[in-house]
Structure 1
Amino acid sequence: MAKNYYLKLKKLFLLISFFICANAFSQILSSNLEKKTLALGEVNRFTVKIDNLNNQEVKAAAKDQLLPFHFEEIKDSLSVQPNSYQRNIEFSVFEEGTYTIPELEFKVGDRVLKTISYEVEVVNTAQKGDPINDIMNNKEVKLEVTDYWQLYKWYILAALAFVALIIVIVMFVKYGRKSKDSPVVATNQTLKELDSLKKKKYIEEGNYRSFYVELIDISRKFITKQYKIPADVLLTDDLIHLMKENNTISQDNEKVVEDVFFRGDLVKFAKTFPDQQTMEKDFSDIRDFVKRSSKDIEFENLRKDV
């Protein structure tokens, strides 16, 4: 009887020791959002902490790029110790609505740790119908001609500038649009913009968020100008659907746009972290797509003629 009791105690001791060791050597991630409801422009704080690092490196999104784009990051501070990692982010939101901080990935060694998701409600604290009190009674002032000029001169000048702008646009459409809207001009201009993007070294520095934002912006403007598709105002899903229905862009070029644009959306919402090789390939594919676009235009013109 005593022997069985001793064996049970021994097993219990070993089990407790196992759990203690497991917890002692495993990383523990915790996160905290200070406020779930914010006023417009109010500062909030989001904290991520990882313990039991044991000198392991932590990989995460770059500075000022951890949160989705609706969250205006004010301060992104990082504290790294041999056994702990802490990241404190102060941010504001300047539009009413409910916004989500998604699960965020932190890679420790071979392990990927994720935070929980948070919802933040942003409200306008100014209430409709709030009284506005004058600090003094109104006074009637007699205005001279020069006073009216001072009051309205900017409106008059703006109207004259608007008329001049209309004249310039008419002249441009009448005399200069055909040559500047040619496929070759659009292609060369976009290739120059891509070269400028390459020189910013976003790929080499691992700044994937800025890279994809500018790459997709350049591509959208190019598609809008070259193919007369409103890519600058359409969501990615609607753009891909319209391209497939339109049949103006070849299937190879459609595939490039679809892959790069969907990856760009995932990067924008911090759902994927592409490596340098992927960014190089996406840049090269978009550049080749721009170069091949003139063949799409030639085929479309031939089809219209037939």
Structure 2
Amino acid sequence: MIKLKKILLLLLFLVCVNSFAQLLSSNMEKKTLALGEVNHLVIKIDNLGSRTVTAAQKNELLPFHFEEIKDSIGSNFNSYERKIEFAVYEEGTFKIPELEFKVGEKVLKTIPYEIEVINTAHKDDQINDIMSNKEVQLEVTDYWELYKWYLLAALALIALIIAIIMFVKYGRKSKDSPVVTTNQTLKELESLKKKKYIEEGNYRSFYVELIDISRKFITRQYSIPADVLLTDDLISLMKQNNTISQENEKIVEDVFLRGDLVKFAKTFPDQQMMEKDFTEIRDFVKRSSKDIEFENLRKDV
């Protein structure tokens, strides 16, 4: 009788302990999966007694290879339930280790799981189209919608090439034409005139700038390197070249030689001489287009 009482007391104690202890259970739906197939893991904890459950955050409970699709948590006063949907996209055997859940100060762990993932597709499997191919008749507007940007890009490229050719052929030529060079030099001569070197008797500055303007003009207009040649060499080259008329050659020769003498203080021209040299250089510049026309005719012949 005493022995029976002890057994009853022990059973009663165990029942009381189980009544207040937290019970963790887990269930894995499938142990073998096809690639990308969805599986379910359910974890439950009972007898919480208002205790807080702490675990990994949503979508971070399972290891790396397991792609979590859905992770839902439900809890109340006495129970906690976590349902996870996941898939694996690699073949092989993968393990889910013990998962820890902290209830109050106590740590509970699930049992580990091992899942095999297989590829159910085979090389010889026949793939059938959902629908049979259908021929569609395209109209002009359809082709335009398909290829309009290619056509517009091609036209833009052609227009750009034509513009570049026109610029190279005509734009540069017009900029360097004899008339443009003549007008530019005449403006430079007018600017020199306004400095009143002649009226003030500043012959040195006058001849330095007059010859500098003339050298640049000859270089651009006649393609003779007057800007780098010494006066004697320039005169010799002009006579050999025959591009500049004899009348204009004579003017350039006289003014340039006089400018050299002024530079080295070997002559002191008066106001009348400076006026004459300025006028002759200006007339030479104006007549230069005739030299160019004659040279072009000679080349054509």
Give TM-score scaled by structure 2 length: 0.44
Give TM-score scaled by structure 1 length: 0.43
Larger Rg: 2
